[in-house]
């Protein structure tokens, strides 16, 4: 008698658990979206989409910084008067002495840190005009100018590498391409100007009257 | 697609590819009426024409339904059979008929999706003489779209709003905008009651910060729950979309959305022909009509092609990050894992896929 009773309970339990399991299996439910992301990205195989075709016209270089490898726009071909030595055939001292009229780079003013911290020679090398230089006088290529900025702006540099600072271009699909520091910030005046908003909604004003 | 598998009734009075009609007039050449139903098709959900007509109803409802449809049908038939009407007019009526009785996009097969898109493109061509490029691309595997917004970077320039309107063909008369940029006082927290979302002065204003809201593409979207006709749903890549042709305009979803993410076409939306963005998606920026809901789709026509939404591309400050949440190497994942992020009204359990973060 008790044996039968136990058997019944066992069968019931098995049936119940079957129903419970199958219900759960069918429902594709997660407690939160973070849980979904975690679960579904475990067997991530990559996507068939690519943003390569949107980057075709962009002249870019691939950089690897820490764990991150991505594309940034090539810089030297975009600088109007590069290479610098095409004009700077004489040393700066000689140029200053010879009175040749209007000064070049007259439109550049430095609004970046203060004079105690920065002047032209903080980044530019008088003896090697075609390259930039680090604080310790190491050569930095114009294409990799972010290495210069990152000497002080370490937090921004970290965020930029990860993708929280700066701007991705092309598309969300791999390969990743991001603008580099000088594409948004003028290195001589890195702050953003204030300006008027792009639009004003006059209809909204009427509706809220 | 064979005509037999169509879920709605076709007039086919002026079809370019003439279908061979059987003796019973049901489009099949073999067997009697009803004998050519595949056993597989029996399980099919009722849809389109059947959804309307293949239900038990009293005479009054039946008459109502019939009259409504006949009005359209009569117009279509009269022009189709008319000797005077040109070929294009006939084709247009044919398209109108098919569009009237097509099913819910959500339930369509890929062929049917393609067919309706082709009809819409052709219809636009007949009406305006211009050619559209409309896509019916489905969600990609291994993709879940997510968005992050940096509130310490946004300066309130509203370039995103402009780009959005141009990209998504919103009504110019009512100046509909999906994105709202709220100007908030520093130190007051998120106080939407005191925030200004329609400022016009030089920005950034002293002592203020800016945050943008739009559709958050919730993983548990309340707008989808309340829709009585299932005209809005969550796609597999996480986008919450609207079938503008299935929407009845009841605005339940607008009331259900806790984020003011949805917009309604109170009038006939109008976009000057030269400003129409011709790169469209059925669920995205195709031209809408009066009385339907619409909202941000993360620019489905762009995002499903691998691009960033227009607002992301337009932002001059880089405050907007977009990407695939399932890709462990994506920038959006890095932001979620390394920055302090939060979402709006998280306690509601709507699970928005739109995060805010600070530097």
Whether A56 has its CB under 8 Å from any CB of chain B: the answer is no
Per-residue pLDDT for A25 more than 50? no
Give a yes or no: residue B61 inside a domain: yes
Mutate to test the interface with A, among B307, B311, B342 (most CBs of A within 10 A): B307
Instruction: Order across the sheet with B354-357: list the strands.
Output: B320-324, B145-150, B354-357, B341-342
- Mean pLDDT computed over every residue of chain B: 86
Q: What is the mean pLDDT of residues A106-110?
A: 87
Give a yes or no: residue B60 inside a domain: yes
At residue A24, the pLDDT reads 46
Give a yes or no: residue B327 inside a domain: no
Nearest residue of A to residue B340, measured between CA atoms: A164
pTM (two decimals): 0.81
**Lookup: tokens for B355:** 């995060």
Q: What is the mean pLDDT of residues B55-76?
A: 66
Give a yes or no: residue B64 inside a domain: yes
Mutate to test the interface with A, among B319, B331, B332 (most CBs of A within 10 A): B331
Give the ipTM.
0.84
Structure confidence at residue B74 as a pLDDT band (50, 70, 90): low
What phi and psi, each to the nearest 5 degrees, are found at residue A73? -65, 140
Give a yes or no: residue B129 inside a domain: yes
Determine if residue B167 is left, alpha or beta; phi over 0 gives left, psi from -120 to 50 gives alpha, anything else beta. Answer: alpha
B317 closest CA partner among A185, A138, A22, A99: A185
A130 closest CA partner among A122, A141, A119: A141
Q: At what angle do helices B87-100 and B110-128 cross, to 10 degrees?
A: 140
**Across the interface, which of B142, B174, B201 has its CB nearest the CB of A44?**
B142
Give a yes or no: residue B33 inside a domain: yes
At residue B75, the pLDDT reads 64
Give a yes or no: residue B301 inside a domain: no
| Alpha-carbon gap, residue A136 to A139, rounded angstroms | 9
List of chain B residues whose C-beta atoms are within 8 Å of the C-beta of residue A173: 306-307, 324
Number of domains in chain B: 1
Pick B47 or B34 by higher pLDDT.
B47
Q: What is the mean pLDDT of residues B82-105?
A: 86
Give residue-wise pLDDT tens across range A41-50.
999 999 999 9
> Do the Cβ atoms of A41 and B326 come within 8 Å?
yes
Distance in Å, alpha carbon of A175 to nearest chain B alpha carbon: 10
For chain B, state the CA radius of gyration: 23
Which residue range(s) make up the domain with B112? 3-135
At residue B31, the pLDDT reads 44
| Alpha-carbon gap, residue A195 to A197, rounded angstroms | 7
Nearest residue of A to residue B171, measured between CA atoms: A203
**Lookup: tokens for B55:** 């239900």
Distance in Å, alpha carbon of B306 to nearest chain A alpha carbon: 5
What phi and psi, each to the nearest 5 degrees, are found at residue A35? -65, -40
> Do the Cβ atoms of B156 and A197 come within 8 Å?
yes
Percent of chain B with pLDDT over 90: 74
| Alpha-carbon gap, residue A51 to A60, rounded angstroms | 14
| Alpha-carbon gap, residue B274 to B218, rounded angstroms | 34
Out of A120-134, B51-65, B319-333, least confident range: B51-65
Percent of chain B with pLDDT over 70: 77
Spell out the residues 6+ positions from residue B276 whose beta carbon is closer than 8 angstroms to its own: B130, B169, B287
**Across the interface, which of B305, B318, B325 has its CB nearest the CB of A184?**
B318
Whether A201 has its CB under 8 Å from any CB of chain B: the answer is yes
Out of A27-41, B160-174, B339-353, least confident range: A27-41
CB pairs under 8 A between A and B: 153
B261 closest CA partner among B285, B277, B241: B241
| Alpha-carbon gap, residue B178 to A133, rounded angstroms | 46
> Do the Cβ atoms of A45 and B141 come within 8 Å?
yes
What residue spans define the domains of chain A? 52-88+109-190
Per-residue pLDDT for B37 more than 50? no
CB B353 within 8 A of CB B217: yes
Provide the 10 A C-beta neighbour count for residue B73. 18
At residue B116, the pLDDT reads 96
Q: What is the mean pLDDT of residues B16-32?
A: 45
Mutate to test the interface with A, among B147, B298, B308 (most CBs of A within 10 A): B308
Q: What is the mean pLDDT of residues A169-182?
A: 96
């Amino acid at each position: 008698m008790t044996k039968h009773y136990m058997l019944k309970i066992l069968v019931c339990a098995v049936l119940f658990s079957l129903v419970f399991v199958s219900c759960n299996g069918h429902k594709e439910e997660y407690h939160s979206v973070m849980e979904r992301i975690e679960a579904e990205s475990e067997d991530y195989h990559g996507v068939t989409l690519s943003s390569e075709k949107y980057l075709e016209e962009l002249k870019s270089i691939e950089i690897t910084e820490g764990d991150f490898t991505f594309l940034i726009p090539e810089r030297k071909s975009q600088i109007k008067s590069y290479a610098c030595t095409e004009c700077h055939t004489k040393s700066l001292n000689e140029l200053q002495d010879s009175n040749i009229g209007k000064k070049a780079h007259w439109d550049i003013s430095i609004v970046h840190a203060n004079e105690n911290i920065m002047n032209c020679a903080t980044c530019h090398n008088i003896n090697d005009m075609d390259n930039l230089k680090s604080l310790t006088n190491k050569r930095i290529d114009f294409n990799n100018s972010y290495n210069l900025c990152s000497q002080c702006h370490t937090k921004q540099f970290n965020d930029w590498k990860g993708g929280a600072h700066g701007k991705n271009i092309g598309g969300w699909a791999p390969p990743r391409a991001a603008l580099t520091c000088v594409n948004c910030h003028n290195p001589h005046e890195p702050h953003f100007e204030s300006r008027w908003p792009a639009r004003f909604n006059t209809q909204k004003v009427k509706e809220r009257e | 697609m064979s005509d037999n598998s169509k879920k709605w009734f076709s007039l086919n009075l002026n079809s370019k590819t003439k279908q061979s009609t059987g003796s019973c007039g049901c489009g099949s050449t073999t067997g009697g009426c009803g004998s050519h139903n595949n056993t597989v098709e029996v399980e099919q959900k009722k849809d389109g024409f059947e959804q309307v007509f293949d239900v038990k109803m009293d005479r009054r409802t039946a008459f109502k339904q019939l009259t409504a449809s006949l009005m359209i049908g009569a117009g279509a038939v009269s022009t189709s059979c008319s000797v005077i009407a040109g070929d294009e007019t006939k084709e247009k009526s044919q398209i109108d008929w098919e569009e009237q009785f097509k099913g819910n996009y959500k339930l369509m097969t890929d062929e049917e999706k393609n067919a309706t898109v082709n009809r819409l493109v052709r219809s636009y061509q007949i009406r305006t003489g211009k050619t559209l490029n409309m896509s019916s691309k489905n969600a990609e595997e291994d993709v879940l779209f997510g968005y992050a917004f940096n509130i310490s970077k946004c300066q309130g320039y509203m370039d995103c709003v402009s780009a959005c309107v141009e990209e998504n063909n919103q009504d110019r008369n009512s100046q509909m905008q999906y994105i709202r940029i709220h100007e908030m006082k520093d130190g007051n927290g998120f106080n939407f009651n005191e925030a200004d979302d329609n400022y016009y002065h030089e920005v950034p204003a002293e002592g203020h910060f800016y945050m943008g809201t739009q559709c958050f593409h919730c993983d548990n979207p309340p707008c989808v729950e309340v829709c009585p006709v299932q005209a809005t749903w969550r796609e597999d890549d996480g986008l919450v979309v609207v079938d503008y042709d299935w929407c009845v305009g009841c605005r339940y979803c607008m009331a259900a959305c806790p984020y003011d993410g949805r917009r309604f076409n109170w009038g006939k939306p109008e976009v000057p022909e030269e400003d129409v963005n011709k790169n469209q998606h059925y669920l995205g920026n195709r031209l809408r009509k009066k009385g339907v809901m619409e909202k941000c789709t993360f620019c489905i026509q762009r995002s499903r092609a691998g691009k960033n939404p227009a607002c992301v591309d337009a932002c001059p400050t880089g405050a907007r990050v977009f990407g695939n949440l399932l890709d462990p190497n994506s920038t959006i994942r890095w932001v979620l894992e390394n920055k302090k992020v939060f979402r709006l009204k998280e306690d509601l359990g709507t699970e928005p896929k739109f995060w805010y973060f600070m530097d």
